[in-house]
Structure 1
């Protein structure tokens, strides 16, 4: 009696290899697609970083400061303020705020969009009792590309332009 000898297979058939390579290429293509999508989301997120991170902080500060002010004046720029030129109602880069202290005295502060030598940004300075305008006390934000103050129908407005052209308009209170 003859025993049937079966051949031992030591490799894969062409169909099996083709199938394995196809699955591997599909997994690689899907991984590349997911990576590309993740990079696209990161680019979109970075483009909106100003709106997500910086704009709410500016809004919070501006709302608190302007709501506690008794009055305000707008000036074209810091040179116009220092030289005593008249106040304007639109296209202003400087907002002078008046505050009433509990003892009845007044103090003033300035919000200005300028470059005092440390980079263009929105700066805050407190005017001392001597009335001399000194250097900026601190920068609220250096990210905006433009900040403009105006008065429209008696309402104070601050138009803030972000680094990617985003435009935000904050509306304040009426002049008392």
Structure 2
């Protein structure tokens, strides 16, 4: 039989208050640091998402718009799709519809529409090819659904497109002179 002393009895009985306090302090410290890192990561994600439109979507819109408008022979601006369909006169500012006319290599002409609208699938910048029949259907594709607003205007003879992003960004694209 083993003889017990007060020293061995204390070790067999469990942890001291000091050891438990130290373990809890280390646990709280690790949890606090983890929470701080999590909050920092969430802030980084918010910043990244806020800049996502400027770094990804805006350059794609720019490339597309430059190519399409640059190849157009002429254009006309309309306040909205309804005013264009009704045959209302073209405007020079505050337009959401840009009608582009192209001349093909064989001498024929075609037209398309670049518009900011909501055709039932969400508002965005849409491209529509005008068929030979002249009867417009749904847009052929969405250039981008991220802009909050798109306005076309002719300023000092130059076509401008003002694009408002989802976080209040405002980009201005300058195109060709009025034809």
Q: TM-score, normalised by structure 1?
A: 0.84
1:22-171 map, 5 Å: 22-171=25-174
| Matches of 2:154 and 2:89, distance apart in 1 | 15
| Matches of 2:29 and 2:115, distance apart in 1 | 57
The CA RMSD measured in Å over matched residues stands at 2.3
**Count of equivalent residues:** 172
Give SS of 2:147's match: coil
Kept after mapping to 1: 8 A contact 2:112/2:129 = yes
| Matches of 1:164 and 1:143, distance apart in 2 | 10
| Matches of 2:135 and 2:168, distance apart in 1 | 35
Give SS of 2:100's match: strand
CA gap of 1:116–1:6, structure 2 versus 1, over 3 A, is: closer
| Matches of 1:102 and 1:125, distance apart in 2 | 21
CA gap of 1:20–1:118, structure 2 versus 1, over 3 A, is: closer
CA gap of 1:106–1:31, structure 2 versus 1, over 3 A, is: same
CA gap of 1:20–1:134, structure 2 versus 1, over 3 A, is: closer
Q: TM-score, normalised by structure 2?
A: 0.82
